Amino acid sequence: MKKKLIIYGASGHGKVAADIAKLNGYEDIIFYDDDQVKNKFGPFQVIHVFPEEKDYDLFIAIGDNKTRELISKRFDDIVTLIHPSAVIGEDVTLGNGVIVMANAVINPGTVIGDGTIINTCSSIDHDNIIGKYNHFSVASHSAGTVITGDRVFAGIGAVIVNNVSICDDVLIGAGGVVIDDIKEKGTYIGVPVKKK
């Protein structure tokens, strides 16, 4: 039987998820989107109502952390997608609905919470505890023993040094370097980062 997948969210992020899903053996991929005007997304069909027959897997491809969390909580089972070029240490734990993109590296002892995006060429080093619905953007890096809360966004090229803890709902701007714990939610930019 064909492996079937519905990707929730016909967006750029969804397009990358579809590519990875194909490499994970999904042969029949369709998108779900609230936007009634979208009926086609590249080569993919877009549906606006979920089929009654539950013969498909589901992946939530919403870039915004909070929205992805809200939507994910409506569903029991969300698949995890891993690009074949990603390097994942043996005792790494990945939650439901995680996506690990091309050339990302997750080193041993790390836990990645539900719905987190580990984007292209990013790396999460050993013994990190990464919360739920985080997004580590393209080429962002966390060193060893980093802890993040939920809905943390690390912008493109952001760096988090070792042994740092970051609370819930923190956005680290593109290129930001985190050298100390962040205990208050908000947006942090610069080298080293300061609250915006």
Binding site residues, ligand COA, CB under 6 A: 119, 137-138, 155-156, 171, 173-176, 187, 189-190
Q: Could you tell me the smallest distance in angstroms from the CB atom of residue 56 to ligand COA?
A: 27
| Alpha-helix residue ranges (DSSP H) falling in 24-111 | 65-72
Strands 4-8 and 57-60: parallel
* Burial profile 166-183: b = 16 or more Cβ within 10 angstroms, e = fewer: bbebbbbbebbbbeeebe
| Shortest distance, position 70 Cβ to ligand COA, whole Å | 20
Residue that has been written with the tokens 């370097």 in this structure: 177
| C-beta of 6 vs 17, nearer to ligand COA | 17
Least spacing, CB of residue 121 vs ligand COA, in Å: 11
Q: Catalytic site residues?
A: 126
Cβ(39)–Cβ(45) under 8 Å? yes
Strand partners, 28: 4
